[in-house]
């Protein structure tokens, strides 16, 4: 009988921790068990003492004034002493943006209603018309070989078209003459252009991301908006924004560029302004810009504005015609020769009304930049990753069906099925995460952590996809020329991986470094309470944090033991188990992260390897969630299940591997081993998808399936006689001629090829195996296939007379 009250109390406390019920309920339960035991089991006095002690402890923590005075106050003093100082730039970065589904994943108990309350991604009719009209027309005007190897710039007629159709003003409000697209509309345009030409895409996306336009919209004065925004919308001004310096790359806040407050007499009037000196590089559109956005440190040594000398980072808009401004020289980014170059200036006078937001915004530049990056980082560069996935899916699936070796399409070989499956699954996952985040942006969220995840992990996924596509294409992708639609994109991969926060930095310092503070329900509250010297707020946050930790310490092993089956899935059917697995891994992730933060404290910011592994786990928890949401948004098409299975299982596997990496390198080794047993009592359980699944995906890409069409929707599909256009025509022709090919194989025991197709079809027609029409289809398919496998070649004279080949000639590969 003595075991009964013990079991009731233990199970009751576990249930309270599991459901995160309030502390007073645990106290009431303990008190009730104590009283009941004393009345029903009077001889069990040791048990009474134990229950009284438990009740007393719980009552102490329930009585907030007593707890705050006796325990929280000394802990508060200690916490303030060990809390590392937070720089102004770090605080501004933390203050930027909001949290959304990432906070749910960091809770250890994600509420799926939060995810499904978000509207499904969609484009407006106006945005769709722009994508189908001007964007389609722009893509038809682009010749990436000519742009990058001959002109080294967009042709004048393309620049004219971009300006006239207001591609540079997709984010500018209509009241100023812009298109005022949503984040989804902006990204859809960039994605489609990127599938045709990265040079054109970068030229379009930069004015629509972090730069003068966005900064003016959020922080500019009314006069600045009225002057610049209509001119930017009409393309009369070409903007650029200069942040990076030779000595300040990823650590942009350490820039040496400086503006000193001074006065200057202009037209007989004394004007207050700044004497600015800068040396910037890697600035997109700088060589052709008419207005220069500039970030620089601001100093007031003479006290013209007050008694503070160092005022922080400021942002200004400077006409490039201003005396002392240097632009024009170019850098040549590999594989994508968009306009990019340095800009310099020495002692350039900048009136106060050239500061974005005017004089009252002096020193607020870093906050402005972090505010814009919180959302903007999720749009343009991830769009290029999505574009890479779509283009490689379209082209590699088609090429693997067209290209024959050993008398069959190379896509039928298991060795090719593996990269094809990875390409399709990565494309599905990238677009799922991108569209979900864009929809959240359009709903008013500014998820800074998710934006960093998309920038880093989608550009890395694009690198993997392009590498796989290169491998499948073999020599076709290696030999440069107009017919090679992969080489330039392959060379340009490092651009998106490097800019807007290099991926190494983003993964190891930003995603979890900011995510741990922003997404954790209590950590930031504790830090702010310490900074504000608010004991009451600190007490509430601290003991909320303790309860949170206890809850996850209960949930993680129970979910681990049951494979997540104790948790709920918001849907039924074949994907329900994946929701439960996300729940299970979310709890394990949160418990592990909480303990690591507790042990390392302020030293965690230097534990970049651990931070990177936690970032991997958080990123793939988000991507797994987005895949599941996409499957629902698409109407749960059964034919897409292989993609869902492959992509989700890969993400869950990545989460598990990341956490095991944390356990092996935990600050306290023994505790790492305990955590591994708590979180994964049965060992590793999340493996990548099996060979049957990859086979199904590969076959879906080798035919004009509904799944393939959904994957490549939004990709420019050329109808011209260019590299991609010939592949797509050959793909259609090969599929159309497939019955005739099979008939000849069966009847004549021969495989049609470009060299024998005419003789074979003539013989097959005479034998009544195929019709004349089928013969014509098969001949056309083989002729187009020969053009697909051809590579470019150049005469010695062409190579000698030009630094780059000018007149390529297609020749069939031997």
The answer to whether 500 is a known catalytic residue is yes
Q: Are 586 and 105 in contact (CB under 8 A)?
A: yes
Q: Rounded distance, CA 263 to CA 749, Å?
A: 90
Q: Rounded distance, CA 536 to CA 73, Å?
A: 9
For residue 763 the two structure tokens come to 């013989």
Q: Are 450 and 102 in contact (CB under 8 A)?
A: yes
Secondary structure percentages of the chain, helix, strand, coil, to 5: 65, 10, 25
Closest CA to 167 of 97, 263, 113, 239: 239
The alpha carbon dihedral of 151, 152, 158, 164 has a sign of negative
CA 187 from chain centre, in angstroms, equals 12
Q: Choosing from 418, 500, 656, 741, which is the catalytic residue?
A: 500
For residue 324 the two structure tokens come to 């002392």
Q: Rounded distance, CA 351 to CA 261, Å?
A: 10
Q: Rounded distance, CA 614 to CA 104, Å?
A: 15
* Helical spans, DSSP H, in 173-266: 183-194, 198-205, 212-219, 222-233
Closest CA to 190 of 231, 130, 126: 130
Write the DSSP symbol of residue 690. P
* H/E segment holding residue 647: helix 641-664
Q: Can you name the residues that pair with 273 across neighbouring β-strands?
A: 262, 351
What is each CA distance from 476 to 24, 470, 471, 493, in whole angstroms? 70, 8, 10, 19
How far from each other are the two terminal CA atoms of the chain, in whole angstroms? 87
Q: Rounded distance, CA 736 to CA 781, Å?
A: 8
* H/E segment holding residue 271: strand 269-284
Q: Rounded distance, CA 187 to CA 170, Å?
A: 10
Q: Are 782 and 734 in contact (CB under 8 A)?
A: no
Closest CA to 230 of 217, 240, 242, 219: 217
Neighbouring C-beta atoms of residue 61, cutoff 10 Å: 17
User: Is residue 402 packed enough to be buried (19+ CB in 10 Å), middle (13-18) or exposed (0-12)?
Assistant: buried
Q: Can you name the residues that pair with 343 across neighbouring β-strands?
A: 280
What is each CA distance from 393 to 205, 417, 481, 747, in whole angstroms? 23, 12, 21, 34
Q: Are 79 and 530 in contact (CB under 8 A)?
A: yes
Q: Are 174 and 358 in contact (CB under 8 A)?
A: no
Q: Rounded distance, CA 36 to CA 51, Å?
A: 10
For residue 389 the two structure tokens come to 């996935």
Interior angle at CA 201, CA 200 and CA 206, nearest 5: 110
Q: What is the dihedral of CA 699, 704, 710, 711, to 10 degrees?
A: 50
The phi and psi torsions of 530 (rounded to 5 degrees) equal -65, -40
Please identify every residue annotated as catalytic: 500
């Amino acid at each position: 009988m003595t075991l009964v009250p013990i079991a009731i109390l233990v199970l009751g406390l576990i249930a309270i921790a599991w459901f995160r019920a309030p502390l007073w309920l645990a106290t009431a339960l303990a008190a009730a068990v104590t009283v009941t035991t004393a009345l029903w089991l009077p001889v069990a006095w040791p048990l009474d003492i134990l229950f009284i002690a438990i009740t007393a402890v719980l009552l102490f923590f329930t009585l907030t004034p007593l707890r705050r005075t006796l325990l929280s106050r000394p802990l508060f003093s200690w916490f303030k002493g060990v809390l590392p100082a937070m720089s102004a730039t770090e605080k501004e970065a933390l203050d930027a943006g909001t949290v959304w589904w990432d906070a749910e994943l960091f809770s250890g108990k994600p509420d799926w209603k939060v995810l499904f309350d978000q509207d499904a991604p969609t484009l407006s009719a106006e945005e769709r018309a722009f994508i189908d009209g001007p964007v389609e027309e722009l893509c038809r005007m682009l010749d990436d070989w000519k742009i990058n190897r001959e002109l080294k710039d967009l042709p004048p007629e393309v620049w004219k078209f971009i300006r006239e159709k207001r591609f540079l003003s997709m984010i500018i409000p209509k009241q100023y003459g812009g298109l005022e697209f949503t984040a989804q509309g902006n990204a859809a345009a960039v994605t489609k252009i990127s599938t045709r030409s990265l040079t054109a895409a970068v030229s379009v996306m930069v004015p629509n991301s972090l730069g003068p336009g966005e900064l003016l919209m959020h922080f500019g004065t009314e006069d600045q908006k009225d002057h610049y925004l209509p001119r930017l919308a009409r393309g009369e001004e070409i903007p650029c924004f200069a942040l990076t310096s030779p000595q300040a790359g990823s650590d942009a806040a350490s820039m040496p560029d400086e503006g000193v407050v001074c006065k200057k007499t202009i037209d007989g009037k004394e004007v207050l302004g700044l004497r600015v000196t800068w040396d910037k590089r890697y600035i997109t559109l700088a060589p052709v810009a008419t207005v220069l956005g500039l970030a620089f440190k601001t100093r007031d040594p003479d006290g013209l504005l007050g008694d503070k000398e160092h005022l922080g980072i400021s942002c200004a808009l400077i006409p490039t015609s201003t005396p002392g401004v240097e632009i024009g020289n170019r850098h040549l980014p590999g594989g994508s020769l968009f306009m990019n170059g340095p800009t310099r200036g020495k002692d350039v006078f900048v009136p106060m009304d050239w500061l974005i937001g005017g004089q009252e915004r002096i020193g607020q530049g870093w906050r402005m930049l972090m505010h814009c990056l919180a959302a903007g980082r999720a749009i343009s560069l991830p769009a290029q990753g999505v574009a890479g996935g779509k283009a490689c899916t379209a082209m590699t699936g088609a090429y693997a069906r067209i290209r024959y070796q050993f008398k069959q399409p190379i896509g039928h070989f298991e060795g090719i099925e593996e990269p094809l499956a990875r390409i399709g699954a990565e494309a599905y996952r990238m677009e799922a995460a991108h569209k979900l985040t864009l929809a959240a942006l359009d709903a008013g969220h500014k998820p800074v952590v998710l934006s960093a995840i998309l920038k880093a992990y989608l550009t890395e996924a694009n690198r993997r996809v392009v590498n796989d596509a290169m491998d499948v294409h073999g020599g076709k992708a290696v030999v440069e020329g107009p017919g090679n639609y992969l080489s330039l994109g392959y060379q340009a991969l490092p651009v998106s991986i490097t800019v807007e926060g290099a991926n190494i930095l983003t993964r190891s310092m930003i995603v979890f470094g900011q995510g741990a503070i922003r997404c954790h329900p209590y950590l930031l509250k504790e830090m702010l309470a310490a900074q504000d010297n608010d004991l009451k707020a600190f007490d509430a946050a601290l003991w909320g944090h303790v309860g949170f930790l206890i809850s996850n310490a209960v949930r993680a092993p129970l979910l681990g033991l049951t494979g997540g089956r104790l948790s709920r899935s918001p849907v039924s059917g074949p994907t329900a188990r994946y929701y439960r697995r996300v729940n299970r891994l979310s709890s394990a992730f949160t418990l592990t992260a909480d303990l690591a933060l507790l042990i390392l404290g302020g030293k965690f910011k230097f534990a970049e390897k651990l931070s990177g592994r936690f970032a991997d786990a958080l990123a793939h928890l988000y991507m797994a969630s987005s895949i599941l949401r996409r499957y629902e948004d698409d109407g749960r098409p059964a034919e897409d299940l292989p993609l869902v299975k492959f992509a989700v299982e890969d993400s869950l596997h990545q989460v598990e591997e990341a956490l095991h990496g944390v356990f092996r390198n935990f600050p306290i080794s023994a505790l790492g081993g305990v955590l591994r047993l708590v979180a994964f009592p049965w060992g590793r359980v999340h493996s990548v998808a099996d060979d049957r699944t990859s086979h199904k995906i590969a076959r879906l890409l080798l035919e004009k399936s509904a799944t393939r069409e959904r994957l490549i929707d939004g990709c420019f599909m050329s109808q011209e006689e260019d590299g991609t256009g010939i592949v797509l025509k050959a793909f259609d022709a090969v599929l159309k001629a497939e019955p005739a090919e099979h008939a000849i194989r069966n009847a004549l025991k021969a495989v049609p090829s470009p060299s024998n197709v005419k003789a074979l079809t003539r013989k097959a027609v005479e034998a009544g195996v195929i019709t004349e029409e089928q013969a014509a289809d098969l001949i056309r398919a083989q002729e187009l296939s020969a053009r697909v496998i051809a590579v470019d070649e150049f005469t010695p004279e062409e190579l000698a007379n030009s630094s780059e080949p000018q007149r390529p000639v297609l020749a069939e590969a031997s």
